[in-house]
Amino acid sequence: MKTLTRKLSRTAITLVLVILAFIAIFRAWVYYTESPWTRDARFSADVVAIAPDVAGLITHVNVHDNQLVQKDQVLFTIDQPRYQKALAEAEADVAYYQVLAQEKRQEAGRRNRLGVQAMSREEIDQANNILQTVLHQLAKAQATRDLAKLDLERTVIRAPADGWVTNLNVYAGEFITRGSTAVALVKKNSFYVQAYMEETKLEGVRPDIVPKSRRSAVTGY
């Protein structure tokens, strides 16, 4: 009787183990065939290539590689005296044409009030034309001043967002040209995983689903 009981127990245990193994294998098969997973994924982030909008000698570099910076923090500065003088010259031109426009406006107004009874139509038209010419010159001078002010402001290169400085390629004393990439900024809170899924596994992908990821590292190099 004991022998029979022992055999039945062994058989039952074996059967339970087989069932558990089958369940485990089945669950693994379902996971790997139906669950949305992939080994082809890339960890990435938004990277901003920063280039100056003006050219000149670099006078100050305020950051170093891999430094965390805040938005609008100064990264480096381009030599400013040339741009300061250009702005001063443009402001002087604006002041000159403002005074000249005021004089020509008064002259044209006086002739228009007197009318053809006191002078010829040609003289009246001439005063009005001169006024329009001076006003156009004033507008051009104001535009030049605004551009000079913008150029001066852009001699100070600032971080466009919070992030980490990388690929810093500027040094004090060297000349940098307009539009040449000087540094890259890895934007903070922009990291993401880009996964390439098989079409047969996209059915399980839904908005707002929380993914799980595991990073593999290569060692020995």
Mean pLDDT of 52-57: 96
Compare 204 and 68 and report the one with higher pLDDT.
Answer: 68
Give the pLDDT confidence of 64-119 residue by residue, as tens digits.
999 999 999 999 999 999 999 999 999 999 999 999 999 998 988 887 787 767 67
**Per-residue confidence (pLDDT) for residue 117, from 0 to 100:** 73
What is the amino acid identity at position 179? G
Please give the mean pLDDT across all residues of the chain. 85
Residue 46 has pLDDT above 60, yes or no: yes
**Model confidence band, residue 212 (pLDDT cutoffs 50, 70, 90):** low
**Structure pTM?**
0.69
**Per-residue confidence (pLDDT) for residue 221, from 0 to 100:** 41
| 91-108 burial code (b ≥16 CB/10 A, e <16) | bebbeebeebbeebeeeb
Instruction: Please report, to the nearest 10 degrees, the dihedral formed by the alpha carbons of residues 9, 14, 19, 24 taken in order.
Output: 130
Structural domains in the chain, CATH included, are: 1-40+193-221 (no CATH), 46-77+158-190 (2.40.50.100), 80-154 (1.10.287)
